[in-house]
Amino acid sequence: MNWITNYVRPRINSIFSRREVPENLWVKCDACGTMLFHRELSGNHYVCTNCGHHFGITPRQRFDRLFDGGLYTEVEVPIPEPDPLQFRDQKRYPDRMKAAQKEKGEAEAMLVVRGEMGRTPIIAAAQDFSFMAGSMGMYVGNAIIAAAEEAVKLHRPLILFSAAGGARMQEGILSLMQMPRTTVAVQMLREAGLPYIVVLTHPTTGGVTASYAMLGDVHIAEPGALICFAGPRVIEQTIREKLPEGFQRAEYLLDHGMLDRVTSRTEMRDELITITRMLLGLPPAIKGDLPPPQPEAEPEAVREPEKARPPERAEEPAAAETPTE
């Protein structure tokens, strides 16, 4: 029996022990209930292959598919004062924050990066709804300002993916102050003549829709995304009336002139490349998956044939460009 324990069992184990844990292999669609194979789902941009339902994704999952060869570099965001109000509900705010950081492995609810999309250099920022409901606090404000400053510095367009439950109540009025702050950041892009494109994902609500998420040059939403200031339940309770079908969903807002496009995530990258290049006055790009840009091609200071660049920008330390994940 030795050959069974020594040979057959290890072979069987090696066949079945994959890197994925069993519960991650199959995912049930929230919308239609279909059981989807995880790899099939991730290969389809986390869009249900049966009904087209868009699953919530993290900024990294999004950026892996957005950038050429999945290569991008994080832009540093200044860390704000932690817990300025000594806020406490059932838990202390710093404890809540630490738990979220540990669970998600991210510093905060927004990730800012630079990279190339269809060989078009851009700055991108994405909000993480899975991190404390993507709530807009001082960090998110800092992230948007950092993204806008980076865009102006490198003369690149900014693409922002919004997803938020609103302002972060643990930071009280300081979170509300991010509305004017981010509005000023968007104005910086406008003054620099740079495109600012907002992709609204499910759900984008509260103070975020009252500021940077609705100030884009172009507004694209993912199908079925809830986009609103006050949610449908609050409105129904206030006006005591039944709201129409699909109220505040992306398609409804498109019909009522609040959005420019509703685009499936599977086509989002190509569409963003087309729109960005059109706004920048560049020729149409190569579509489809591209390998990462050559390391030599990445440094910003070399990329743009700008003679009139101020001296301090010519000395841009572009060598510090290191790929993340």
Residue 35 sits in the site that holds Zn ion (CB under 5 A): no
Alpha carbon 92 to chain centroid, angstroms: 27
**How many of the chain's residues bind Zn ion (CB under 5 A)?**
8
Please, what is the minimum distance in Å from the beta carbon of residue 54 to Zn ion? 10
Minimum CB separation from Zn ion for residue 33, in Å?
7
**For the chain, what's the residue count?**
325
Q: Of 27 and 132, which CB lies nearer to Zn ion in the complex structure?
A: 27
Q: Which is nearer to Zn ion, 183 or 266 (CB)?
A: 266
Taking the CB of residue 151, how many other CB atoms lie within 10 A of it?
A: 27
d(CA 323, CA 70): 9
**Distance in Å, CB of 49 to Zn ion, minimum:** 8
Per-residue interface string for the shown chain with Zn ion, residues 47-86, x marking contact by CB under 5 A? -x-xx-x---------------------------------
Of the candidate spans 29-37, 114-122, 132-140, 141-149, the one that interacts with Zn ion by CB under 5 A turns out to be: 29-37
Q: Which is nearer to Zn ion, 38 or 119 (CB)?
A: 38
Answer yes or no whether residue 29 interacts with Zn ion by CB under 5 A. yes
Candidates 32-40, 64-72, 87-95, 188-196; binding stretch for Zn ion (CB under 5 A) = 32-40
Residue 221 near residue 201 (C-beta atoms within 8 A): yes
CA pair distance 202, 224, nearest whole angstrom: 7
Q: Nearer to Zn ion by C-beta: 31 or 107?
A: 31
Choose the stretch contacting Zn ion; rule: CB under 5 A; options: 26-34, 127-135, 196-204, 240-248.
26-34
Judged by CB, which is closer to Zn ion: 50, or 324? Answer: 50
* Interface residue with Zn ion, options 25, 32, 35, 230 (CB under 5 A): 32
- Tell me the pairing of strands 196-205 and 158-164: parallel
Helix 178-191 crosses helix 138-154 at what angle (to 10 degrees)?
10
Q: How far is the CB of 108 from Zn ion (least distance, A)?
A: 31
> What stretches of 67-107 show up as alpha helix (H) in DSSP?
93-104
If one counts every other C-beta atom within 10 angstroms of the C-beta of residue 257, the result is 7
> Tell me, what DSSP letter sits at residue 214?
G
Report the distance separating Cα 105 and Cα 43, nearest Å: 23
Identify the helix (H) or strand (E) that includes residue 75: none
Candidate list 31, 210, 279, 285; residue touching Zn ion; CB under 5 A: 31
Q: Which is nearer to Zn ion, 47 or 143 (CB)?
A: 47
Q: How far is CA 162 from the centre of its chain?
A: 6
> At closest approach, how far in Å is the CB of 126 from Zn ion?
23
Contact 152, 188 (CB under 8 A): yes
- Reading the block at residue 278, the tokens are 């059109």
Yes or no: say if 70 and 96 are a contact pair by the CB < 8 Å rule.
no
In whole angstroms, how close is the CB of 53 to Zn ion at the nearest point? 4
The beta strand positions in the chain, using DSSP E, are 26-28, 35-37, 72-74, 110-117, 120-127, 158-164, 196-205, 218-221, 227-228, 261-262
Q: Are 178 and 207 in contact (CB under 8 A)?
A: yes
Please report how close the Cβ of residue 134 comes to Zn ion at its closest, in angstroms.
23
Which 236-265 positions form the footprint of Zn ion (CB under 5 A)? none
Instruction: Tell me the closest approach of the beta carbon of residue 269 to Zn ion, in angstroms.
Output: 21
Q: Which residue ranges make up the site for Zn ion (CB under 5 A)?
A: 29, 31-32, 34, 48, 50-51, 53
